[in-house]
Amino acid sequence: MWWSLISALALISVVRCQGVRETCLSGDEEPYLLFGTKTAYTFSHKGIPVMRSHEVPGCQPIAIWLLNRHGSHNPEADEISEMQRLSDFKANILANYRNGNFRNSNQRMCPSDVNLLERWEWNPRQNMTFAGDLTTDGYISTQQLAQAWRSKFPGLLTDNKYDYLFKYVNDQRSSTTFRAFTEGLFRDQAEGMDVPKESDEKLLRPYKFCPAWTRDVEENNETLTQLRTFSSKQEYKEMITNISLRLGFNYDINYETVLSMYEMCRYNKAWDNIQISPWCAVFTKEDLMRLEYAEDLETYYKYGYGTPMNQKLGCTAVKDMMDFFKIHLDHETPQQPKATIHFTEAEMILFTLTALGGYRDSAPITGDNFHTQTARDRKWGTSIMAPFNANIAAVLYKCIPNNNLKIREPYQVLFLTNERPLYIDGCNVGLCDWSLVKTRLGLVADNCELNFCNGAGKVNGFVGVLVAIIAFCFRLLY
Ligand SMILES: *[C@@H]1O[C@H](CO)[C@@H](O)[C@H](O)[C@H]1NC(C)=O
Ligand SMILES: *[C@@H]1O[C@H](CO)[C@@H](O)[C@H](O)[C@H]1NC(C)=O
Ligand SMILES: *[C@@H]1O[C@H](CO)[C@@H](O)[C@H](O)[C@H]1NC(C)=O
């Protein structure tokens, strides 16, 4: 008996000495839920007072302009095959676990995380037929958002269809979003209500009609320079090693697999906000913050301030907004439509915020400064700016000027993003004098021509050098 007790104690100490420490990431009480462009709206905006009418003292709202991103959707056509491979990958992880490949690792996945993973199955409905379609959750969150706007601005979002103009794009996601939104606004009357609507892809996705942007930004390697810098850092490689060890691999799994797991994790949390995703349990909070920063770097240079051309593309939305407000200025009686409501994509939300001058950092974010205070305090953050159901609103108010309330002019515009004030220089918590809006955004709207989109590329570097050399030689000769 003594002998068996002693051997039991010995065994415990051996296990101790090997330092087996299991990581149970699914049990985290405060999981990190900011997943860039695939963040659920509720995670992005904890604590918004949703159902409350929005009041600006001394002012009456007379018009609202609203730009919305769709809710959560199925994996896109180009994501499906890579993500589907997670089924095989899951089998490999389980095999690792059974074969005891974890023995030498001090950071293996804990049994309950493995059990969760074991129960996970790829949903066969996630196939090409339904690729990219709005999900049930995306439908409901869109209805809820419409209801929230209606309770904030009951005088503008009425039951009269002539108070509205909807603009969308002719595809499943956009038209389903339109249906969900109008159901949220009009409830059971929505069906028979033929609200004014038009399809306008040039306005809502100008980047699809801009070969110069596609060539010089979207498909240009240089756009991702900062992202490459970040992902070539030692700590990024170490992150991949750590994730591999956690899953029982004694070699580094490839980066595409890490990204697929990340996609699955964030889709899971967007489709079902409550259920724990086994794929999220693969990542620590620090891993998730790095992956989030990587997407911020990508979007900053593709759609934001990182590349000058990006600031021009969002002008189509700004011009639409300015044209809409002009209908309402200087009229004694209310004009129709009172609400212009658009449905678009994350890219356009980011382009528009950039054209409006929101979320602007004083210095560019880079692949080198992740650990600095500047990066931690950065304004540019995709999870906050462009989650699912992201939205930008501009509300025109007619006011009685009152110096105490800092209302200096009879017309004011309130800018909101995701139902919170959008901070713009020269404005007061999102509330701007019309004169400022007119000067600053009027300039953006008046100069909104996308002729540059069809222009030739930058002067070819080689030709440029050649010209310089020839010019130099001429100087020497004469
Ligand atoms: C996708 O799944 C649905 C339902 O399971 C099925 O009817 C459809 O044929 C599938 N499409 C493809 C391309 O496999
Ligand atoms: C651009 O990217 C492609 C594909 O990733 C790569 O083959 C090529 O070498 C890159 N070019 C430069 C200049 O980095
Ligand atoms: C990798 O894991 C080790 C051991 O737990 C830890 O000290 C280190 O910070 C991790 N590195 C990264 C980049 O997460």
Q: How far apart are CA 447 and CA 314, in angstroms?
A: 12
What pLDDT, on the 0 to 100 scale, is given for residue 352? 98
- What are the pLDDT digits (tens) for 338-361? 999 999 999 999 999 999 999 999
> Of all atoms in ligand 3, which is nearest to the CA of residue 242?
1
Mean pLDDT, residues 288-308: 98
How much is the pTM?
0.90
Task: Say yes or no to pLDDT of 49 above 90.
Answer: no
Domain membership flag for residue 396: yes
Domain membership flag for residue 255: yes
DSSP label at residue 433: E
Mutate to test the pocket of ligand 1, among 81, 122, 129, 130 (most ligand atoms within 8 A of CB): 129
What pLDDT, on the 0 to 100 scale, is given for residue 423? 93
Domain membership flag for residue 8: no
Domain membership flag for residue 89: no
Domain holding 199, by residue range, is 31-73+133-446
Measured in Å, residue 295 CA sits from the centre of ligand 3 at 21
Copy the structure tokens of residue 357.
Answer: 């001058």
What pLDDT, on the 0 to 100 scale, is given for residue 76? 96
> Of all atoms in ligand 1, which is nearest to the CA of residue 128?
13
Higher pLDDT, 100 or 294: 294
Higher pLDDT, 23 or 376: 376
Mean pLDDT, residues 451-469: 60
Other Cβ atoms closer than 10 A to 440: 18
Query: What CATH number corresponds to the domain at position 224?
Result: 3.40.50.1240
Task: Say yes or no to pLDDT of 116 above 50.
Answer: yes
Q: In Å, what is the CA distance from 463 to each residue of 215, 453, 458, 468?
A: 19, 22, 11, 9
- What are the pLDDT digits (tens) for 240-249? 999 999 999 9
Q: How far apart are CA 234 and CA 224, in angstroms?
A: 18
Tally of domains in the chain: 1
Interior angle at CA 349, CA 348 and CA 354, nearest 5: 95
As a three-state string, the secondary structure of 161-194 is HHHEEEEECCCHHHHHHHHHHHHHHHHHHCCCCC
Task: Name the band, by pLDDT with cuts 50, 70 and 90, for residue 470.
Answer: very low
What pLDDT, on the 0 to 100 scale, is given for residue 460? 45
- What are the pLDDT digits (tens) for 168-193? 998 899 999 999 999 999 998 988 89
Mean pLDDT, residues 217-225: 97
Mutate to test the pocket of ligand 3, among 242, 246, 286, 371 (most ligand atoms within 8 A of CB): 242
Domain membership flag for residue 259: yes
Percentage of residues of the chain with pLDDT beyond 70: 88
Higher pLDDT, 332 or 33: 33
Domain membership flag for residue 125: no
Mean pLDDT, residues 311-340: 94
* 23 ligand 3 Cβ < 6 A: no
Task: Name the band, by pLDDT with cuts 50, 70 and 90, for residue 474.
Answer: very low
Mean pLDDT, residues 64-79: 97
Domain membership flag for residue 390: yes
Domain membership flag for residue 185: yes
Task: Look over the chain and give the mean of its residue pLDDT values, rounded to a whole number.
Answer: 89
Nearest CA to ligand 3 atom 7: 242
Q: Which ligand is nearest to the CA of 125?
A: 1
Measured in Å, residue 132 CA sits from the centre of ligand 1 at 14
Beta pairing partners, 60? 398
What pLDDT, on the 0 to 100 scale, is given for residue 26? 86
Contacts of 102 (CB under 8 A, 6+ apart): 96, 108, 109, 248
Pocket of ligand 1 (CB under 6 A): 124-125, 127-129
What pLDDT, on the 0 to 100 scale, is given for residue 426? 93
What pLDDT, on the 0 to 100 scale, is given for residue 52? 66
What pLDDT, on the 0 to 100 scale, is given for residue 109? 87
Q: How far apart are CA 313 and CA 213, in angstroms?
A: 9
Task: Say yes or no to pLDDT of 250 above 70.
Answer: yes
What pLDDT, on the 0 to 100 scale, is given for residue 105? 60
Task: Say yes or no to pLDDT of 118 above 80.
Answer: yes
Mean pLDDT, residues 283-294: 97
Q: Is the dihedral of CA 452, 453, 455, 459 positive or negative?
A: positive
Decide: 181 and 142 in contact? Cβ < 8 Å.
yes
Beta pairing partners, 415? 394
Q: In Å, what is the CA distance from 372 to each residue of 221, 287, 290, 395?
A: 26, 17, 13, 36
Measured in Å, residue 246 CA sits from the centre of ligand 3 at 11
Interior angle at CA 167, CA 428 and CA 447, nearest 5: 60
Task: Say yes or no to pLDDT of 471 above 60.
Answer: no
Task: Name the band, by pLDDT with cuts 50, 70 and 90, for residue 455.
Answer: confident
DSSP string, 252-319: PPPHHHHHHHHHHHHHHHHH-SSSPPTTGGGS-HHHHHHHHHHHHHHHHHHTSTTSTTHHHHTHHHHH
